[in-house]
Amino acid sequence: MSIFTPQKYFNVKSNNKLFIAIIAALVVGVAIGGIVHYQFPEYIAGFSKNIKLLGTIFIRLVQMIIAPLVFSTLVVGIAKMGDMKMVGRVGGKAMAWFISASLISLLIGLFLVNLMAPGKGTSIQMDNPTEAASDLLKNSQSFSIEQFVTHIFPKSIFEAFATNEILQIVVFSILFGVALAAIGKQGESLTKALDTVAHVVLKMVNYIMWFAPLGVLGAVASAVASYGFEIFALYANYLLAFTIGILVLWVVMLVVGYLILGNRLWDLLRHIKTPLLVAFTTTSSEAVFPKMVEELEKFGCQPKIVSFTLPLGYSFNLDGSMMYMTFASVFIAQVYGIDMPLEKQLLMLMVLMLTSKGVAGVPRASLIVVVATCAMFGIPPEGIALILPIDHFCDMARSMTNVLGNALSTAAVDKWEGKSLQTEQE
């Protein structure tokens, strides 16, 4: 019995075709959205609502298979490890990366938003809070230690599956995998069955990913039709500063990646180009989780490392979102003219390190954390309405950055673990 090998289900030629199809859908989506916004303004609301359904369908199709994929691959991976010392070692290395990456991402956002001060002297005006802003304010009111705990420990695995709470599924899967490995030969038949489930789900991924171009077209066309291109001029300072922040974060991550992986870094980037593009165009890093599993294994990472590290990364290693949280929080304070001394900002950074882990799997989690943090530090949480109009476009960049961070962390842990095994054998 061998752990699934997704190479069977995907080939380079089909992957390139998918990449080209997504690029074409992106261009067409921008064009259609622009035409509707400027030529047929009376149809904007209806068009945006209906065309967005294409993106919604794609996201829901992917969400449909995330829970069974995370559960089956993670349990099989741990059961295959057998040695619980190895589970602890891999988990320790992964968490060390996640904490370090989160801290660096937060610091970069904090440094650049203070350096460039995009919120000072801004001409952005805030109207009455929109329905979306009101929903975020309402959702953030219950943000507490209790919510943090309930988003980690499931009271029912069936509820966690039904609501796609990845972190809760990970917790249950780790315990289940450890127990399965502990009973030895008695659990081999179940391990084999879950291995087969993983094969089937990965085959489903092959079908679902071909709907990605339509999902991209719907998401992009809806956003452009709703806001037009003037939104970029209005938020020029904000977008410029955030873009520079994302680029700096990418440079840092790629440099670290090169130091660890060497020239193999470029091969890794080639493998994850489609997941990066899908995450960018759909604003969902979750949408590419199944594809990431395949591409990382095709790159050469051990299946048991991928199945263990990647789900953890989706809960604890959201580098783009982490940078955005400090950036957005301080930006709102700047717009309102609220003084944020260094010690207060550093305290905010530490709070974000903790609270950001408590909303894993929550829709628009980054914005909910921003609202809760603003309220905690005396910044008007209503200021979230300032950044909502441009958030979709910022979300494109931070989602893609999250994918890159998780790919690098998994590849790095795999290499370190390979060296550990080699040392043990010697």
Q: So what's the pLDDT on residue 1? A: 39
Q: Which residues in the chain show pLDDT less than 50?
A: 1-10, 127-129, 358, 360-361, 421-426
The CATH number, out of the four listed (3.40.1350.10, 1.10.3860.10, 1.10.540.10, 3.10.20.30), of the domain defined by the range 82-183+233-425 = 1.10.3860.10
Q: How far is CA 30 from the centre of its chain?
A: 23
Q: So what's the pLDDT on residue 362? A: 52
- Picking from 14, 235, 18, the residue whose alpha carbon sits closest to that of residue 118 is 235
Cβ atoms of 326 and 340 closer than 8 Å: no
The first and second tokens of residue 178, run together, are: 């450890």
Phi-psi region of 156 (alpha: psi -120 to 50; beta: other; left: phi over 0): beta
150 burial type by CB count under 10 A (0-12 exposed, 13-18 middle, 19+ buried): middle
Q: So what's the pLDDT on residue 66? A: 82
Number of neighbouring beta carbons within 10 Å of residue 90 = 24
Q: So what's the pLDDT on residue 269? A: 94
User: Which amino acid does the sequence have at 43?
Assistant: Y
Q: How do the domains of the chain map onto residue ranges? A: 82-183+233-425
Q: What is the DSSP letter of 375?
A: H
- The distance between the two most distant Cα atoms of the chain, rounded to a whole number of Å, is 72
- Picking from 332, 316, 335, the residue whose alpha carbon sits closest to that of residue 377 is 332
CA–CA separation, 225 and 31 (whole Å): 9
Per residue in 83-114, pLDDT tens?
A: 677 778 888 898 899 989 989 999 999 999 99
Q: So what's the pLDDT on residue 107? A: 92
CA–CA separation, 315 and 168 (whole Å): 10
Where do the H-state alpha helices sit in 183-235? 188-209, 212-227, 230-234
Per residue in 367-423, pLDDT tens?
A: 777 887 887 888 887 777 778 778 888 888 988 999 999 999 999 999 988 755 444
Considering the chain, what percentage of its residues have pLDDT values greater than 90?
25
User: Which amino acid does the sequence have at 276?
Assistant: L
The first and second tokens of residue 272, run together, are: 């994850």
Kindly provide the b/e burial profile for residues 377-411, where b requires at least 16 CB atoms within 10 angstroms of the residue's own CB. bebbbbbbbbbbbbbbbbbbbbbbbbbbbbbbbbb
Cβ atoms of 110 and 352 closer than 8 Å: no
Which residues, at least 6 apart from 164, have a Cβ–Cβ distance to it below 8 Å?
Answer: 63, 66, 67, 361
- Picking from 137, 294, 144, the residue whose alpha carbon sits closest to that of residue 205 is 294
Q: What is the DSSP letter of 130?
A: P
- Picking from 250, 239, 287, the residue whose alpha carbon sits closest to that of residue 101 is 250
The first and second tokens of residue 380, run together, are: 């008007």
Contacts within 8 Å (CB) and 24+ apart, 416-422: 416/93, 417/86, 417/89, 417/90, 417/93, 417/302, 417/305, 418/302, 420/89
